[in-house]
């Protein structure tokens, strides 16, 4: 069995100290470029491989990041949701670039038991949370434990932790303004569970757009449900019973909007001639569904990568700010202006 090459072996071959080798292999800026290059070439020639387990033990790190999806009530939103898959893909790609493994799980938003599993048991070095509740027990617990974590979603008033995401209120406002501009006046709102942040900020944007246009605000036109096509479809049936002259719907996700459009079709309502529909996220399916879905675009992949970059900087002791990403309205067939009445 071949003996494992050590830093001391490289140091003898290079004629330098082991500490210089260690810093050179970690690309320390205090080591001249020529020396770093020489040491790294010798390491490659000797087939040196970093003992990751020893390093992680020394640094008390797992080299693993958890991406957690908080859910409320009996939510059936799975990680197979297209929005989740897209952001998970970006996160895992970025983690791979930095030599980190990924742990992915759902956690209940009304419990903080998971904080102990991941933080106190040192299963992970940091946590990425995709969404959160308005009053979030888990986030408060993470803060009390001094955990490194970054949250996906809108930055909210009084927030004292790092987040990455679009301004959901502004995005929803733009969506509903668009519907108003094409002549729609009875606009329904289908959101996720009411006490989740992304639902709350999008509801506020919906209400703000109606108020600015001088349109009446009717609680009968709003429903809160799960972020699934099935739940979206069930909700639009209920809305049509409440508001028979409904002429537009703003759904808080594209995945919900797909279910909305299917049920509208089953009910004999043409999209967009009878009812215009706008979603949120701009998942790839939105551009290929029939009719193609008008939506609010979020830079999901760029946001996922940025979350990782911020979290790894935090793990290294850096202070990082929250980031508000740009959004934009993408107008497609489900709300074309030429179909307005």
Please calculate the CA angle 337-252-172 and round it to the nearest 5 degrees. 60
CA 267 to chain centre: 33
pLDDT band at 48 (very low <50, low <70, confident <90, very high): confident
Token duo for residue 202 = 């999008």
Mean pLDDT confidence for 233-238: 97
Mean pLDDT confidence for 115-130: 92
pLDDT at 301 exceeding the cut of 90 = yes
Render pLDDT for 69-122 as a digit per residue (tens, 0 to 9): 998 877 888 899 999 999 999 999 999 998 899 999 999 988 889 998 899 888
Mention every residue, 6+ apart, whose C-beta is less than 8 A from residue 59: none
- Quote the percentage of the chain above a pLDDT of 90: 74
Q: Which residues of 147-171 are buried (b: 16+ CB within 10 A; e: fewer)?
A: bbbbbbbbbeeeeebbbbbbbbbbb
| Structural domains present in the chain | 7-50 (1.10.260.40), 64-166+300-327 (3.40.50.2300), 168-298+329-339 (3.40.50.2300)
pLDDT at 174 exceeding the cut of 60 = yes
- Number of C-beta neighbours around residue 284 at 10 A: 12
Question: What integer pLDDT is reported at residue 28 of this predicted model?
Answer: 73
Token duo for residue 291 = 């009719």
pLDDT at 2 exceeding the cut of 60 = no
pLDDT at 54 exceeding the cut of 60 = no
CA 146 to chain centre: 22
Render pLDDT for 246-273 as a digit per residue (tens, 0 to 9): 999 999 999 999 999 999 999 999 999 9
Lowest mean pLDDT among 28-32, 170-174, 253-257, 332-336: 28-32
What are the strands of the beta sheet with 222-224, ordered from one edge?
222-224, 187-191, 248-251, 276-278
Question: What integer pLDDT is reported at residue 18 of this predicted model?
Answer: 84
Token duo for residue 34 = 């020529």
CA-to-CA separations, 82 to 50, 199, 204, 228, 258, in angstroms, rounded: 37, 18, 25, 10, 12
Q: What is the dihedral of CA 212, 322, 87, 53, to 10 degrees?
A: -170
Token duo for residue 204 = 């506020």
Q: How far apart are CA 142 and CA 144, in angstroms?
A: 5
User: Is residue 168 within 8 Å of residue 205, measured between CB atoms?
Assistant: yes
């Amino acid at each position: 069995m071949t003996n494992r090459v050590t830093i001391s072996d490289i140091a003898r071959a290079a004629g330098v100290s082991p500490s210089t080798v260690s810093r050179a292999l970690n690309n320390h800026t205090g080591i001249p470029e020529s020396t770093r290059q020489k040491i790294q070439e010798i390491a490659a020639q000797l087939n040196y491989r970093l003992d990751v387990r020893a390093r992680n033990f020394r640094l008390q790190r797992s080299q693993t990041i958890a991406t957690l999806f908080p859910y409320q009530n009996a939510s059936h939103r799975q990680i197979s949701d297209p929005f989740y898959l897209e952001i998970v893909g970006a996160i895992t790609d970025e983690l791979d670039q930095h030599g980190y493994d990924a742990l992915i799980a759902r956690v209940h938003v009304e419990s903080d038991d998971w904080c102990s599993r991941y933080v106190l048991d040192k299963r992970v070095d940091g946590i990425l949370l995709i969404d959160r509740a308005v009053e979030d027990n888990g986030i408060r617990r993470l803060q009390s434990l001094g955990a490194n974590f970054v949250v996906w979603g809108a930055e909210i008033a009084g927030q004292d932790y790092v987040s990455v995401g679009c301004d959901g209120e502004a995005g929803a406002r733009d969506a509903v303004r668009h519907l108003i501009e094409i002549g729609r006046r009875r606009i329904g709102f289908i959101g996720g569970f009411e006490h989740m942040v992304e639902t709350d900020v999008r509801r506020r944007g919906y209400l703000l757009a109606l108020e600015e246009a001088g349109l009446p605000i009717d609680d009968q036109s709003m429903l809160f449900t799960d972020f699934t096509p099935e739940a979206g479809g069930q909700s639009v049936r209920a809305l049509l019973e409440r508001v028979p002259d409904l002429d537009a719907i703003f759904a808080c996700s594209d995945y919900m909007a797909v279910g909305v459009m299917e049920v509208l079709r089953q009910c004999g309502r043409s999209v967009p001639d009878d009812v215009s529909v706008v979603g949120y996220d701009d998942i790839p399916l939105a551009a290929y569904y029939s009719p193609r879905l008008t939506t609010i675009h979020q830079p999901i992949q760029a946001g996922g990568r940025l979350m990782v970059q911020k979290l790894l900087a935090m793990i290294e002791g850096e202070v990082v700010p929250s980031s508000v990403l740009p959004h934009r309205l993408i107008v497609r067939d489900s709300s074309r202006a030429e179909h307005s009445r």
